[in-house]
């Protein structure tokens, strides 16, 4: 009996890809369409345009969120950074929405930054106003506290183009 090595190699490759795809697609993404287990209130004292916002949770857990560069401009590349302490974050998503005007919803999935935190690059659409208030909802999938929603407010300014 003669074995066709090309066929056998292809079969093994397809089998490995199947297992890899099964593993990849079996991990549950952060579901923004379910009710969070914990919803934090907006910290109106924190101004993302000026500083990093820090939020304290139970068990000495904290999360810090920042947007850069400053000033925050629409239609410009932005960096969104999230760092956590004492929280086992399994996934994090940023959901951006206009507060006073419907600008649609802009979702970005955070990636580990290699330093224990998370980051994602994105931008905001062009707005006809000189400034616009936005809400940034952080959705964190955690092992201990379930799904956490942390809202933040910030103002974006019209780009100087």
The domain limits of the chain are: 38-157
Q: Give the tens place of pLDDT for each residue, 106-119.
A: 999 999 999 889 99
Placement of tokens 């999230």 in the chain: 82
Q: Sheet holding 105-109: strands in order across?
A: 38-39, 147-157, 131-142, 89-98, 105-109
Name the band, by pLDDT with cuts 50, 70 and 90, for residue 2.
low
Residues 6 or more apart whose Cβ sits within 8 Å of residue 116 = 83, 84
Name the band, by pLDDT with cuts 50, 70 and 90, for residue 140.
very high
Decide which of 3.40.640.10, 1.10.287.110, 3.40.50.2300, 2.60.40.10 is the CATH code for 38-157.
Answer: 2.60.40.10
Is the pLDDT at 70 greater than 80? The verdict is yes
Mean per-residue pLDDT, 66-89 = 94
Q: Give the tens place of pLDDT for each residue, 16-51.
A: 444 443 333 334 566 666 789 999 999 888 989 999
Alpha carbon distances (Å) from 99 to 7, 140, 154, 156 = 58, 21, 10, 11
Is the pLDDT at 147 greater than 60? The verdict is yes
Is the pLDDT at 121 greater than 90? The verdict is yes
24 token code pair: 């990849």
The chain-wide mean pLDDT, for the chain, equals 83
């Amino acid at each position: 009996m003669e074995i066709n090595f090309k066929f056998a190699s292809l079969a093994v490759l397809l089998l490995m890809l199947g297992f890899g795809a099964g593993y990849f697609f079996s991990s549950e993404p952060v579901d923004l369409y379910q009710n969070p287990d914990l919803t934090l209130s907006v910290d109106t004292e924190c101004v993302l345009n000026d500083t990093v916002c820090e939020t304290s949770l139970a068990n000495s857990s904290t999360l810090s969120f920042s947007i850069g560069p400053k000033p925050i401009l629409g239609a410009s590349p932005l960096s969104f950074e999230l760092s956590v302490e004492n929280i086992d974050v399994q996934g994090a998503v940023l959901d951006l929405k206009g507060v006073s005007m419907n600008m649609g919803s802009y979702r970005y999935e955070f990636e580990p930054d290699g330093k224990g935190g998370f980051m994602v690059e994105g931008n905001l659409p062009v707005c006809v106003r000189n400034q616009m208030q936005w809400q940034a909802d952080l959705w964190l999938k955690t092992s201990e506290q379930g799904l956490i929603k942390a809202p933040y407010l910030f103002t974006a300014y019209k780009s100087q183009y």
